[in-house]
Amino acid sequence: MVVLKVLTLNCWGIEVPIVCKYRHQRMQAIGDLLSNGEYDILFLQEVWSNSDYKLLCDKLGRSLPYSHYFHSGAIGSGLCIFSKFSIVETLFHRFQINGFPHKIQHGDWFGGKGVGLCKIQIEDFDINLYISHLHAEYSRRNDVYLSHRISQSFELSQFIKHTSQNCHVTIFGGDLNLQTDDLGYKIITSTALLADAWITKKSTKTEKGFTCDRKENYFTSATDYPDGQRIDYLLYRYNNGYNVSVEECNVLYHQVPGQCYPISDHEPVVANFTIDKSPNSKGFDESITQVGRNQHLQDALEKLDTGMKEIRNDRMFFSILCVIMIVLVFIIPSCEYYSILTMLLSLTEVVLVLGAGFSVIYGLVIKLSEENSLYSTKCDILNLLGKPIKH
């Protein structure tokens, strides 16, 4: 039997001081807090800076000597795992769709988000550790990234499902940017056969488990969730001949010592997993969740179709806009105008050329790539459901 104390935390380590407050102080505090030897496994997200990762390695090296950072995208995935036990294999799958490069204010695209895997061995137990951070929501009322997160949720569930068949136990930790009633969460748990540690825990605390946008968090501002939301998870499954029970699962709150602000804009989630051999265990029965899974996937197909329809409308709009701007570029030089307007009209021509160029790149490259990614996910879902693909 093995008992593991596991923690997941979104560290909010964005390298933009105005956006991300007190990053250096908070990273120091996170390293000090987690270095006391209390934890066996750490799943950390939004560790975007190499210097922050090195700082954490230095502080955690004595109690958690094994770690892996999943490099991806322009600024790294932000994902890393720390372990008391030797990491024997690693693998990373990058999501095929993850926001837009021109939405710099959001920045998800630059992170190259995906799902990471670290394999560890503890005595006779082969354990797969997974970590991920899905695209942020930004607006509940006008969620332009809904289809992206649904696609990511399906990719995540398939990756875990197909890489965890030969291990004994699977543990996932990360920020899904999904609540339990969201379609993406249902796809992940039903397709990958994952249980939620907060729901299955033996302890009977009545907290709602909110991990983000909590009122007492110094960094929380007015959001669509005034009471907070639960979007950070510890999920798990076990295969034939093994059993996992969750003795406790809690949401913690830690302030930076001597300061009035917490260690992050998210709260850490901690769970105690008891892993044991059980000859009579059949693992997680896929037939139990198959009906619900199929309905969730059917709902996903509708969302993906809606997303692709919006993409086609956007492509048509930018194609028309591009034609109009090109026509104006050729019309302006042929018009007679006073010399005082020469500079203004020349500047207008430059703006029109740049606008036409952006329309071509956005409509024919970015949006077409987005449509192809959603269509790829749709085809994968249809194959899983045993339905024909109509071309």
Distances (CA, A) of 235 to 137, 174, 193, 380: 21, 9, 10, 24
Cα distances (Å, whole numbers) of residue 313 to 180, 369, 374: 31, 15, 15
Please give the pLDDT value at position 351: 81
266 a catalytic residue:
yes
Catalytic residue among 68, 135, 148, 266: 266
217 Cβ contact partners less than 8 Å away, ≥ 6 residues apart:
253, 262, 265, 267
Contact 175, 45 (CB under 8 A): yes
Contact status, residue 198 vs residue 249, Cβ threshold 8 Å: yes
* Mean confidence (pLDDT) of the chain: 89
At 54, which helix (H) or strand (E)?
helix 50-60
Report the percentage of the chain scoring pLDDT > 70: 93
pLDDT in tens, 201-246: 987 665 788 999 888 888 887 677 778 899 999 999 999 888 999 9
Lowest mean pLDDT among 80-84, 114-118, 140-144, 311-315: 140-144
Residue 308 has pLDDT above 60, yes or no: yes
Q: 341: which 2 tokens?
A: 């307007």
Between 160 and 389, the higher pLDDT residue: 160
- 339 pLDDT higher than 60: no
DSSP state of 134: P
Task: Provide the pLDDT for residue 53.
Answer: 96
Average pLDDT for 62-76: 92
Cα 294 from Cα 191, distance rounded (Å): 9
Which range is least confidently modeled, 34-38, 83-87, 213-217? 213-217
pLDDT of residue 352: 80
pLDDT tens-digit readout, 245-297:
999 999 999 999 998 899 999 999 999 999 998 887 777 766 556 668 999 99
Instruction: Give the model's confidence band at 319: pLDDT under 50 very low, under 70 low, under 90 confident, else very high.
Output: confident
Whole-number pLDDT of residue 307: 92
The pLDDT score that the predictor gives to residue 288 is 56
Residue 238: phi and psi, rounded to 5, are -140, 155
- Does 52 have pLDDT greater than 80? yes
Please check the confidence at residue 337 and state whether its pLDDT lies above 60: no
- The reported pLDDT for the residue numbered 28 is 96
5 vs 43: CA distance, rounded Å: 12
The top-scoring range by mean pLDDT among 50-64, 320-334, 347-361 is 50-64
Secondary structure class of 4 (helix, strand, coil):
strand
Residue 51's alpha-carbon distances to 27, 58, 261, 322, in angstroms, are 10, 10, 22, 43
Exposure of 227 by Cβ count < 10 A (0-12 exposed, 13-18 middle, 19+ buried)? exposed
CA distance 378 to 176: 21
The tens digit of pLDDT for each residue in 96-155 reads: 999 888 777 777 878 889 999 999 999 889 999 999 999 988 887 888 889 999 999 999
**Residue 129, strand partner residues:** 118, 171
User: What pLDDT score was predicted for residue 96?
Assistant: 93
**DSSP, res 266:** B
Instruction: Identify the weakest region by mean pLDDT among 220-234, 306-320, 337-351, 355-369.
Output: 337-351
Q: Which of 11-25, 67-81, 163-177, 202-216 is predicted with the least confidence, judged by mean pLDDT?
A: 202-216
Asked if 264 and 213 touch (Cβ cutoff 8 Å), the reply is: no
Query: Cα angle vertex 5, ends 4, 6, to 5°?
Result: 105
d(CA 92, CA 95): 10
